């Protein structure tokens, strides 16, 4: 009897409830923001200080 009540409760509630979606959404946002910040930091460290960016063989105008 208890299993039937539990199954009925499980099937009657939507899977995407806020208590399940919000932590996943926050984790995804934090992961995306952290990856973006790390890319910015790596790009800043890779660029030489006080120099123009390299042209990679393209003549400057």
Cα–Cα dist 35/58, whole Å: 30
pLDDT computed for residue 32 by the predictor: 93
User: Where in 1-61 does DSSP place strands (E)?
Assistant: none
Distance of CA 38 to the CA centre of its chain: 12
pLDDT computed for residue 49 by the predictor: 61
pLDDT computed for residue 1 by the predictor: 82
Written as tens digits, the pLDDT of the chain (61 aa) is 888 888 888 777 776 667 778 888 899 999 999 999 888 888 777 766 655 656 666 666 5
Q: Is the pTM of this model over 0.95?
A: no
């Amino acid at each position: 009897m208890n299993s039937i009540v539990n199954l009925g409760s499980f099937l009657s509630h939507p899977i995407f409830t806020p208590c399940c979606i919000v932590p996943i959404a926050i984790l995804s946002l934090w992961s995306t923001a952290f990856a973006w910040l790390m890319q910015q930091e790596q790009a800043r460290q890779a660029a030489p200080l006080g120099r123009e960016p390299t042209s990679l063989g393209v003549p400057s105008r």
